[in-house]
Amino acid sequence: METEEKKTIHKGFKKGLYVIPTAFTAANVAMGFIAVIYSIRGFQIISINPVGASGYFNYAAIAIGLAILFDTLDGRVARMTKTATEIGVQFDSLADVLTFGIAPIALMYSWGIGAAFPESSSQYGFGVFLLFMYLMCGAFRLARFNLQSMRPRVLAEGTPKLDKKNFVGLPIPPAAGLLASLVHFAPMPLSSYGESVGRFYCLLIMVLIAVLGVLMVSTIRYSSLKTVGTGRRNLYLVLVIAAVGMLMWLYSNYVLLILSVAYVSHGLMWYLFRLLRTSPANVDAEA
């Protein structure tokens, strides 16, 4: 009887573990929902209260940042507790479409494009088009990741293989994190900087959105950071995390922007470095 009771308790405990990753994913969805609502609310009051609107935009950016944290934790917890399921993978991807696809678009539109350009202008139309393409690239990136993770026979040839150390293409959470960190760094709506300056900044943001979309559908390798913390020097990792956490608390607008720019750019820099190493000039010199 005691053995059967222990087995029952263990089985019930195991089932309970499956709820934990799902709870983090649900928190991810909640943060995306909050980011969209705050972006809409900020856009509503830009003309009458730009300072108040900046507060809503800042909260939306923070919500996206928290969503990245929850998205990271749900995968790690699922792997640590061995509770990863197919429905969990699909739920996580759908959550990412909302939180890192639609929410950043709503924020960029409300904070920049929608307020800086009149609706009848060509810049406004092109900006909305770029936002749509960002969403399409992000959704395609998630779909490709899911297919490559399952390794179907259709993709056996001519498709980059996944490994635990690298992602193929820029993941959508860091792309959304970079956009959110920009708003967190300067939450005042771009229209508040004046017509000419605000539109110039908005054009730069549009270029960034286009670049992020291209990077997401590219085959450039990005570090997955999944092996971080699995080595023997975990004490040093704890110290680094503690230091970064304190810096975030004190200077979050600077630290988050630096970290997001570093991650988005490191894959591109490494790609260019390898491209230069294998350039035809170097090959001819070796020959």
Using one digit for the tens of pLDDT, what is the confidence trace for 175-217? 999 999 999 999 999 988 888 898 999 999 999 999 999 999 9
Return d(Cα 100, Cα 35) in angstroms, integer: 10
**What b/e readout covers 71-82, taking b as 16+ CB neighbours within 10 angstroms?**
bebbbebbeeee
* Residue 84 clears pLDDT 70, i.e. is over it: no
Given a contact cutoff of 8 angstroms between Cβ atoms, the answer to whether 220 and 135 are in contact is no
Which tops the pLDDT comparison, 41 or 244?
41
- What residues does each domain of the chain span? 2-227
pLDDT confidence of residue 5: 47
Provide the Cα torsion 41, 45, 50, 56; round to 10°: -10
Tokens of 7: 């087995």
Tokens 């995390």 belong to: 241
Whole-structure pTM value: 0.83
Indicate if the alpha-carbon torsion angle 245, 70, 68, 273 is positive or negative. positive
Dihedral Cα 6, 8, 12, 13, nearest 10 deg: 10
In the prediction, which pLDDT does 281 show?
52
**C-alpha span between 175 and 73 (Å, rounded):** 18
Q: Specify the pLDDT at position 21.
A: 77
35 neighbors 67 (Cβ within 8 angstroms): yes
| Tokens representing residue 237 in the block | 């990792």
Query: Is 104's pLDDT higher than 50?
Result: yes
For 57, which DSSP code? H
Measured at the CA of 189, the angle between CA 185 and CA 191, to 5 degrees, comes to: 135
Quote the mean pLDDT of the chain. 81
Question: 278: part of which helix (H) or strand (E)?
Answer: none
2-227 CATH, one of 1.20.120, 1.10.10, 1.10.730, 1.10.287: 1.20.120
Q: How confident is the model at residue 234 (pLDDT cuts 50, 70, 90)?
A: low
Q: What is the pLDDT of residues 209-225, one digit of tens each?
A: 999 999 999 988 888 77
